Every structure is written in C-alpha cells, then in structure tokens.
Structure 1
C-alpha cells in the first residue's frame, strides 16, 4: 500500500488542457514552462472572452449590494491609496459594522478619477473563485484575484513591481500598459518595490520592453519584479489581475532550516548553556555548524511544506444545509466524491486536509485511497459508515 500519496488536484494533465492553455496563453504549455514562466513577459492577443468571469454589472453588484467591507476594496488615485474612512460608513440598524463600503462615497471618488480595486475576488465572486482554484491547481502555486476599475484617462498606481507573478486579463474598455525589465530579479515577499523606489523610477524612464494597449480578451503575463504602469484610455477600464503567489527555493530553504532547528531542540548539547565568561560566539560556532549540518542533512521539511501549502487557500465551498440533507438521506446507492481543493494527503493511516485530519483503520484505508481519485463513488462501495464520517468532516460531498 502506498503510504504517502499526494492529493488528486483538478490539475491539468500532461497534455496541457486546462485554463492556462485554453484561456490565458496561445503557446504550447511546455514552451511556456521552459521559456516564459518566471523569465519573461508574455502578451497574448484575443486569449479568451473573459466576460464570464466579471463584468461592469458584476462590479456594481459587488460594490452596492453585497455588503462588502473595507478589506475587500481599496481606492487609489495618482499613485496614492486613499484611507478607508474616505469610502466606508456604518452598516445601519441591526449590524454593528463600521467599515462597510459606502457606494455613494465610492461613486464620488470614482467620478473624480480614482481607481477602485476589488480585492480577494477568489473569495467573494464564484466565477472567479472557480477559475482561480483551477489555475492554482494547474500551476501548483496559490492564486488570488483582484479587479481594477479605472475611469477614462486615469491611472491608479505609478510604475512599480509586484512580488508575485500576475496574469492581467482585460475585461472591458482599454488600457495602455508600459512594461520594463526588472531592477531586482525575482523579489521575495519582503522585498517590495518601495525599497527601490528611486531605482524603479529611473528605470521607468528608459525604453519599454512592452508598450501596448490591452483590449477586451487580451491577456498579459508578468513575472514578479517586472516594472509596470497602466492608464485607462477613452472609456472605463476593467481588468482582472490573477496574482500567483510563487513557491521559491528560498521558501523551501526556510522550511528545511526550520525543520532542522526543531530537531536540534532534542540535542542536549545544543540546549546547554554557553560556558561561563564566553567571549562572543566564535568559540562555539564550530560545534554549532557541525550539529546544524547534521540536522539539515537528515531533516524532512515535507510535512511543514504541506501544512503551509494547505493553509494558503481554502477548499471548495460547502453548503451546510445541503450537506446535512445529504447525510440524513445517505444510502448505499448515494453517489459521493472528494471535495475539491482540499489538498488531501494520505500518509500512513492519517488523511490530512485543509479541513483537518482523520485517522483510519487498516481495513478502511483501501476505501479511503479509492475516494482520493476524485471520481464519484457509491456510498455502499466505500462503506456507508465511512462515507458518513467523511461527509460530516467535510471531506466528501454529494457527487454532481
């Protein structure tokens, strides 16, 4: 029996069929992986019709009817982000919320040229949530989604770079994008462009790598660190930015070091007090280096990696009423399947997921392994009692 099994994602197969290949790029997936990913900007004309993901009507609904709070929207104008108090107010009777979006205030800011940024749409708008989850599964890196709504002839942000890769999808209107090569290649999360503000400003004066106007359906890929600025043209521009939160070798090194340090807690010599009167650390470094090398050589950072990865996203939505109804009506012929985006991983008798962990008996493990294929299964095939337990844990759901 395989005791270490990675989850079955909604990921793309080796053939390249998926949202990346069918909606975001017009080159072969393998060519994108070898020549473009993390290396170069890529402009794809008429990549797809993105109106199923977002529209002007959807923006109006999100702002005026969904009761969003300040963390889900920010407002910027001419490179400055406005304070939340400029566009929020109390929620009214029956709701003790002081920072709900004020659509009248937002209208006034927008009419005055400010850009509205709808943040974390992978949490608040179902079409984008589904798309982001699929793309994240294909790339193996978490995906977030923000929308930028800019009035004609305005720009929200000055030249800058992001610390994550992005796909820019033009939804409505047109926007001119000016792209420059990095001044700091592959910046880490704690290396923002503001640390190099003057260098970025100087580089932005040079010849552009790309200077183009995006039209609806166009897609632009930018690796982290690439400088960019954008300005709406003759009408309101709506574009969606899919931020790819890249796993890096540095991040893996951090986790390996953390695992090694955790192991050193069990080493009596490492826990010992330094000698009396020690003059700085020099006298102890040889021993510490030796122990640290030994710990790193045997450390296993995989559990920490998978825990961190599980914490970076959420599983597919689960309706508690529908789930309870399915549990109560559960019979041997009921079809169930693994809830998507669970990041489920079976290691020995333990199944770890984004919604917690469960231990199973030796006799249950074959059924659990079958369940991990993501296909619909009859409850009687897996065992009705086991299926009920997994449904109550939020691991299995009724099959579509």
Structure 2
C-alpha cells in the first residue's frame, strides 16, 4: 500500500501547494469519502487498542472537555515489554471515560498500519521533514483542546465523521518544542489567537494543512469523529548550530580560553573583539564545503525509518508478500455512503447510488441493508451472516457503485 504526495494533495498540484500555501497560509482540500478509507477505520482502531502492551498513559491519553484525564484514573501499574514499570490503560476504565464523553488520543501511530505508513511516507517524500502521527477520536459537543498552536506543521486527515475547525488569524513566530515557548496559561493563547479567519468543516476524505504556529481549535459535529494529525517536524537552523558545534571542536580557536574579565574597559573590549572573531570564524565554517556536505545530507535524510523487514529474503528463502496482498482475502470494506439502504419498488428491490440504481435480489437486499448499517464489513462476516448470498460478488457490486471502499 502506497500513496504519492501528488495523490495526497489532489486535485491541487504539489507545485501550486509550495508556491502558494506551504509555510504561508492554511489549506482545506475536499476529497471523496473513499480517499482516506484505507488510512484508518473503527475496526483497525479497536484492533490497535486491543494490543494492550503497546500502550501506556503517555501513548494513549484521555481528554475530558479540554482537561487531560490523569493516567492514574484509567490505567493500572504493569510491566512493559521492556521490563519497565508503566501505567497501562485498562479497557473497562477507558470505555467508562469514553461513555462520559472523553476524547481519546493515540500518539505516535504513524508506523502502526499500512495506511498510516502510506500517508507518512508521502509527506516525507516531499522533503517536509519527519512525519509523526496522532489519532484524535472525539464525540459530538465535546471539545478536547481549546485554541492553541503547534510547534510543527499540521496535516489533518479526516477518516470518520465530521469536525469543525476554527482557524484563527493569529500565528506564533516560529515556535519550537522548547520550554521557552510554554505560555503562562490559556488566557494568553486566547489573546494571541486574534480574530476568526474561517470555519472549516472536515468530512471523510478531507485534508487540512496548517503552517507551524497557526492558532486553531476543533469540535466534532457528527456523533463520532476520527482524524489523524500528522505533525511534520522540519530541520531547523538550530540543527545547523549543532553541526557547527561538532565542527568547532576541531578548531583550536574555539578551544582557547576567553579573555579574563576584571571589570575594566580593556577587558570588556578584549572579550567583545574575541566574540566577533569567533563569530566570523563560525561564518567561515558555515560556508566550508565539508560542513555543507554534512548539512545537505542531514536535510535530505531527515525522515523516520519505517519497515524494510523481510526475514525470509535475508536467508535467501524467497520473499514474503506485502501485508496488503497477504491479507487481501480477510480485508475489510468501509461503508462510505452512510444512510444508504435498499428500497422496495413493487416486487423488486433497488439501491440508490450516485450513478443511478442498483437492482438487488431479495436476499441481496437484506444483506446489503445489513452491510450498510455497519461502519465496515469483512467478507467472512458477510458469509456467516448471510450464507445464501454470493459474498464476493455483492461486495464487488457495492464497491463499484461507490458505496464501499477498501479499508
């Protein structure tokens, strides 16, 4: 499973994005419900949550109407897979908080499913930096976070339900993940966010881009909303300073002691002169071909390493099919036309679609109604629930009619 940066942005071209939007202003792109159907589904969310030992109170967080829930209130003490003591979420306690309206945040998920990997690698392939993904699951009328900015670019992919985003005019001045940029409280954010620039309603298949530091907040409009926020962490000028620091250690001028200070004007002048000389030397080092070679390689390679495992191939025993191919028979189909259902016309059953009507035999109509009332379905489930129906054929017809998409 793969995705290109061009496919992610379609119908906007990458050239237009970089010329008009990147690091300049927000962008909302509408897409069909099938566009991100493969990225994440409720079925996959539950499957990930059931991998109990990969989660902690840090990687799985709950937020109740803007207030983080202390991990002690939904976790228990346990031993991690690395034999360390951690707070591990308890399913029953998480369900209890969700029943009250708590939002669920799953952190660092960008390598956990093929769909999440596909979007992450598409973003990184454009040279935007390291893509780190978090899943935000929220419920109607329960806001997880007040107005805020992020210290990285935000690429929000809507996969379930609808969510209204308030995009404010305010933008922080190139913030980074450093205590210097921790504000005293929400009151300062409310003052700095400025006037409302626009309201954006994200629907499944939509994409929202926010430059680093742009103020925003969001609220679920549907009974349930799921979006994946990919944070793009670009290489910064601070990284050049780190490279220069390493290079300066090999330069004797930076290893010499600074002029001693005794309060005299002469001592102060000597220190000022020395600082200027070192600054000039740093400028020379920044233009050094070897330093530039290191910097170019650092920027070009600034992305996360994902995948690459094939143990059979390592032993010369053949290759393993990609996960998407190996699991094709058991893959799920996501319903992308919620509310659609078969209707009876005389003695016949039909299903209205965007392209017209789809005739159905009575057993197919019953099975189609069962499918379309669910968020997703797998072929084995359909065969078990409706054994009289040709499951592969019906799923293919519903897919071709634009009612299902591969999840």
> Normalization by structure 2: what TM-score?
0.67
What do residues 103-131 of structure 1 show as CA deviations (whole Å, max 9, x unaligned)?
Answer: 11111111111110111111323321233
Task: Give the structure 2 partner of residue 28 of structure 1.
Answer: 13
For the residues of structure 1 that align with 2:263 and 2:91, how far apart are their CA atoms?
65
Name the stretch that deviates more: 169-178 or 308-317. 308-317
Match of 1:49 in 2: 35
* Offset of residue 97 of structure 1: 5.2
Q: For the Cα contact (< 8 Å) 1:90–1:96, is it kept in 2? A: no
CA positional deviation for 1:23: 2.2
Residues 1:19 and 2:4 aligned together: yes
Looking at structure 1, the residues matched to 261 and 145 of structure 2 have their Cα atoms a distance apart, in angstroms, of 57
Evaluate the alpha carbon distance shift between residue 202 and residue 43 of structure 1 in structure 2; reply closer, same or farther with a 3 A threshold.
Answer: same
| In structure 2, distance between residues paired with 1:310 and 1:193 | 29
SS of aligned partner of 1:194: coil
2:191 counterpart of 1:202:
yes
Provide the aligned C-alpha RMSD in A.
Answer: 3.1
Would the alpha carbon gap of residues 124 and 91 (structure 1) be closer, same or farther in structure 2, given more than 3 Å must change?
farther
Structure in which a larger fraction of residues adopt strand: 2
Alignment counterpart, residue 313 of structure 1, candidates 281, 287, 304? 304
Counterpart of 1:154 (choices 127, 130, 142) is 142
Q: Compute the displacement of 1:256 (Å).
A: 5.4
Number of the residue aligned with 1:39: 24
Tell whether the 8 Å contact from 1:45 to 1:218 is kept in structure 2 after alignment: yes
Residue 125 and residue 247 in structure 1: after superposition, are their counterparts in 2 closer, same or farther (change >3 A)? same
1: CA distance between counterparts of 2:105 and 2:5? 24
Conserved in 2, the CA contact under 8 Å of 1:165 and 1:223?
A: yes
Kindly provide the CA deviation profile for residues 38-67 of structure 1, in whole angstroms up to 9, marking residues without a partner as x.
010011112662120101111111112353
- 303 and 278 in structure 1: CA distance in 2 versus 1, 3 angstrom threshold: farther
Pairing 1:1-400 to 2, within 5 Å after superposition: 19-46=4-31, 49-70=35-56, 71-91=58-78, 98-190=86-178, 192=181, 194=183, 197-204=186-193, 207-248=195-236, 250-255=237-242, 257-259=244-246, 261-264=248-251, 266-267=252-253, 270-272=255-257, 274-275=259-260, 277=262, 279=264, 281-299=268-286, 300=291, 302-303=293-294, 306=297, 313-319=304-310, 321-326=311-316
Task: State how far apart, in whole Å, the 2-side matches of 1:88 and 1:283 are.
Answer: 59
Equivalenced residues, count = 308
1:282 deviates by 4.0
Deviations 1:329-354 (A, max 9, x none): 59xxx9xxxxxxxxxxxxxxxxxxxx
Quote the Cα distance in structure 2 between the aligned partners of 1:152 and 1:278: 65
Q: The residue matched to 1:111 in structure 2 has which SS?
A: helix
Flag structure 2 segments of 5+ consecutive residues without an equivalent.
Answer: 320-407
CA distance in 1, matches of 2:174, 2:162: 29
| 8 A contact 2:259–2:270 mirrored in 1 | no
Q: Distance in 1 between matches of 2:153 and 2:210?
A: 6
- Tell me, in whole angstroms, the C-alpha distance in 2 between the residues paired with 1:223 and 1:54: 24
Deviation readout 1:308-332 (Å, 9 max, x if unpaired): 875862242424x425422xx59xx
Q: Which has the larger radius of gyration?
A: 2
* Alignment partner, residue 340 of structure 2: none
Q: Deviations over 1:126-160 (max 9, x none)?
A: 32123312321223411111110002221110110
Deviation at 1:200, TM superposition (A): 2.2
Deviation at 1:225, TM superposition (A): 1.2
Whether the 8 Å CA contact 2:8–2:119 is kept in 1: the answer is: no
Compared CA separation, residues 240 and 260, structure 1 to 2 (3 A):
same
Can you give the 5+ residue segments of structure 1 that lack an aligned partner in the other structure?
1-10, 12-17, 335-400
